[in-house]
Amino acid sequence: MKVIKNELVYFATALMFFTRIPVPFTIPYSGEIMNKSQKYFAWVGLLVGLINAGVLFLSTLLFNLEIGIVLMMIASVLVTGAFHEDGFTDMCDSFGGGYGKEKILTIMKDSRVGAYGTIGIILLFALKFYSIHALGRGSVERVLGIIILAHTLSRFISGTMIYTHRYVTDIDTSKSKPLANKPLDGMALLVGFISVLLAFALIPDWRLIFAFALAYAGKIYMGWYFKKHIGGYTGDCLGAVQQVCEVLFYLGTMIVWKFI
């Protein structure tokens, strides 16, 4: 029972960290608990994906696909508090407007949104809308599984940055505080990957492996870019990787469904 209780605390911690979904009980907090919650990052993505898919399904029944996608995107922002989108805009502003590690990190910690961040998030949302719209024109039901899978695997891929790259900013001021530079063992990584396999089971199409590969390639490139300019990643970088990998998975799905 103690093991189950501990795992529930770890999941609830990840849920509170990445979403605004209320947890109906008080949970303890410590750096160790925060660190061990890493294994459930992708599981939170699975839950967020299910919520998004549900909103899209109901909205298309009441209205049409276009309005449904917009309402789904609004619901996603409300559920997560725009946590990852904020990281993406900060990444755009800092790397777009800064030169050198110190300047980039200074801009990244600034709460104001600049031109690069504004332009970046508009283009990102446009890509999300039009890619989901293109995927959903043939069958709304089919795109629901893609949305669930995209949210799950993008958070899993983003979490792997903790294992493959070095944390570079001050840990006391980071959004990813205690979990930034303390990767767990391989078993914890497997727990996260199980959620990806579960999401794949909702839409069993072997071609989606290529879309997954494209999303992971995006993470590899962004990791290289971050390492080149600041020596590693920050909490904002993790959010940016999640957003980019989600969109890349949509685009990759379009490619493989069209050509394979």
Asked if residue 223 has pLDDT above 60, the reply is: yes
> What pLDDT score was predicted for residue 180?
39
CA 171, 176, 179, 180 dihedral sign is: negative
Q: Which pair of structure tokens corresponds to residue 190?
A: 């497997």
> What pLDDT score was predicted for residue 179?
45
Asked if residue 90 has pLDDT above 70, the reply is: yes
Asked if residue 16 has pLDDT above 60, the reply is: yes
Question: What mean pLDDT is predicted for residues 141-161?
Answer: 95
pLDDT band at 187 (very low <50, low <70, confident <90, very high): confident
Asked if residue 111 has pLDDT above 90, the reply is: no
> What pLDDT score was predicted for residue 172?
45
Torsion from C-alpha of 96, 102, 107, 109, nearest 10 degrees: 140
CA 109 to chain centre: 20
Average pLDDT, the chain: 90
> What pLDDT score was predicted for residue 47?
97
Percent of the chain with pLDDT over 70: 94
For the chain, report the end-to-end CA distance as a whole number of angstroms: 48
* Residue 54 exposed, middle or buried by CB count within 10 Å (0-12, 13-18, 19+): middle
Asked if residue 27 has pLDDT above 50, the reply is: yes
Contact 153, 215 (CB under 8 A): yes
Asked if residue 173 has pLDDT above 60, the reply is: no
Asked if residue 105 has pLDDT above 60, the reply is: yes
Asked if residue 30 has pLDDT above 80, the reply is: no
Whole-prediction pTM value?
0.93
Instruction: Give dist(CA 6, CA 107) in Å, integer.
Output: 38
Torsion from C-alpha of 72, 37, 242, 115, nearest 10 degrees: 90
Q: Which pair of structure tokens corresponds to residue 193?
A: 């990957």
Q: Which amino acid is at 129?
A: F
Asked if residue 183 has pLDDT above 80, the reply is: no
Point out the least confidently predicted range of 97-101, 193-197, 203-207, 226-230. Answer: 97-101
Higher pLDDT, 26 or 220: 220
Q: Which amino acid is at 4?
A: I
Instruction: Give dist(CA 247, CA 157) in Å, integer.
Output: 13
Higher pLDDT, 28 or 45: 45
Asked if residue 71 has pLDDT above 90, the reply is: yes
Instruction: Give dist(CA 151, CA 250) in Å, integer.
Output: 10
Question: What mean pLDDT is predicted for residues 125-137?
Answer: 96
**Count of other CB atoms within 10 angstroms of residue 66:** 13
Instruction: Give dist(CA 14, CA 43) in Å, integer.
Output: 9
Asked if residue 177 has pLDDT above 80, the reply is: no
